[in-house]
Amino acid sequence: MNQNSTPLFDAIMRYIDLKPAYFRIPGHRFERGINSRWRDVVGDEIFKFDLTETPFLDDLAHPGAAIQDAQDLAREVFGSDHTYFLVNGSTCGNEAMIISTAIEGQKIAIPRNAHKSAVMGLVISGATPVYIMPELSREWGIQGGITPQDVETLFQEHPDCKGVMVVSPTYYGVCSDLRAIADICHAHGAALLVDEAHGAHLYFSDQLPEGALVQGADMAVQSIHKVTGSLTQSSMLHIKSKIIDNFRLATNLRIVQSTSPSYLLMTSLDMARHELAMHGKEMIANAVELASYARKEINQIEGMICVDRELVGTAGVKDMDMTRLPISARKVGLTGFELKSILFDEYGIDMELADYINALAIVTYANTKEDMDRLINALKDIARKNKGKKEIVNEVFLPSLPDYAMSLREAFFAPTKTIPWQEARGKIAGEMIAPYPPGIPVVYPGEIVTDEVWEYVENFRIRGRHLHGPEDGKLMEYKIIDPK
């Protein structure tokens, strides 16, 4: 195919050139109805791309022209059998993968570190989750990978499992052994679903781990906006499989996608694919080079540590995406949360996230050496100012997975009541709790708050650490499901 073409962009330009009298949605009528303060800053042209299913522009729900051509070009670039543009982010892609793999009465394996969209997929499908716990690096407080051995054990215990979902790479760049996991899944007649939201760039570099589709995944979802050049909320879903019902998947996508898809988002996917097709190898090589430079310099700073490849071969880690920079200042007494705050408040450097041990920088092709030097110099200054402070030691002892009293779907729709957290032992959870670090949910709605889970969470609560999921972030109160 002609990867130098941009079919959706060209179709929109053709429509704009007509200068039609416009009586359709949206109501702003190109740039004319947009707030002048906004237009004065960003200009007019971009608003002309915010259109609907006009002539020339195709229909995302039933594509057959420009959108289909753009998806086919993406299919070729990523090596899939079918590719779908997503305008509701990777969230809707994960949901579509799950509801296309298992329905009520069937089982699907979900990693405990899955994005919350996986929970929503289970609520929609009604499938029974069989949870897989990723390994954990206690030293770094970083979630590791899913091992092939754990997947094989899962099928021995649940031979009727319809599919396995794996997050690879993770936020921190951790990659599981997808090739081995794919072989195990296929030997048991099951599908491998990969949340590859952070991995679209892997297909364009020999210096990085292989992409999920190359390793045998049946479906993979990518947030093209996270590390390449599309706009936020735009993603792709790829199928490369003989066991996935493509018609069923396309139908399920209509459940989770907007019926008013943004042509700005879809055009950004078309243009990002074009850029990757034309210059992807150079782009990602630049990201790898910048990250390598920064990692080397950071690890020469006394008191600072940047994760290198020491995790490979441990904690279920098959490989690492080296464009991710998990940075720890624990040797100079700073948590990752503190490091992230200091970098922003005092140096104007905004990191992606933090946990108790690390602050994470994501390096892309669009960063510059000046960006890297600014980060390096700030870390040097922080290390100097905090030299001599007591080193922080991570303490992560995950509790056993709790039993569940009802399915996620039942729990989602069940009535809840709020009780004091101190009374939550033995109750049916009405909210997820995921302490950070390590960010792995220790209880989902519908599961029993065991003594072990309660004590683990309480240890985080009394120390004032981050708890994701509960409506009351301080966890003075907690929602439970009342069977009555």
**Are the CB atoms for 204 and 242 separated by under 8 Å?**
no
pLDDT digits 0-9 by tens, 41-58:
999 999 999 999 999 999
Average pLDDT, the chain: 95
pLDDT at 218 over 90: yes
pLDDT digits 0-9 by tens, 120-175:
999 999 999 999 989 888 888 888 999 999 999 999 999 999 999 999 999 999 99
pLDDT digits 0-9 by tens, 407-433:
899 999 999 999 999 999 999 999 999
pLDDT at 484 over 80: no
Q: What angle do CA 295, 298, 303 make, to 5 degrees?
A: 140
pLDDT at 439 over 80: no
pLDDT at 308 over 80: yes
Which has the closest alpha carbon to 477: 427, 407, 435, 421?
Answer: 421
pLDDT at 438 over 80: no
pLDDT at 395 over 70: no
Question: What are the angstrom distances between the C-alpha of 12 and each of 17, 48, 110?
Answer: 9, 9, 40
pTM score above 0.75: yes
Q: What percent of the chain has pLDDT over 90?
A: 89
Residues pairing with 163 in the sheet: 191
Q: How confident is the model at residue 356 (pLDDT cuts 50, 70, 90)?
A: confident
Q: How confident is the model at residue 437 (pLDDT cuts 50, 70, 90)?
A: low
Hey, which of 114-118, 470-474, 477-481 has the most confident mean pLDDT?
477-481
As a whole number of Å, the end-to-end CA separation of the chain is 61
Amino acid 362: pLDDT: 98
pLDDT at 111 over 90: yes
Amino acid 140: pLDDT: 87
**Strand 428-429 relative to strand 174-175, pairing:** unpaired
Amino acid 483: pLDDT: 74
More confident residue, 235 or 395: 235
Amino acid 139: pLDDT: 83
Considering only 202-206, 286-290, 367-371, 460-464, which range has the smallest mean pLDDT? Answer: 460-464
pLDDT at 396 over 70: no
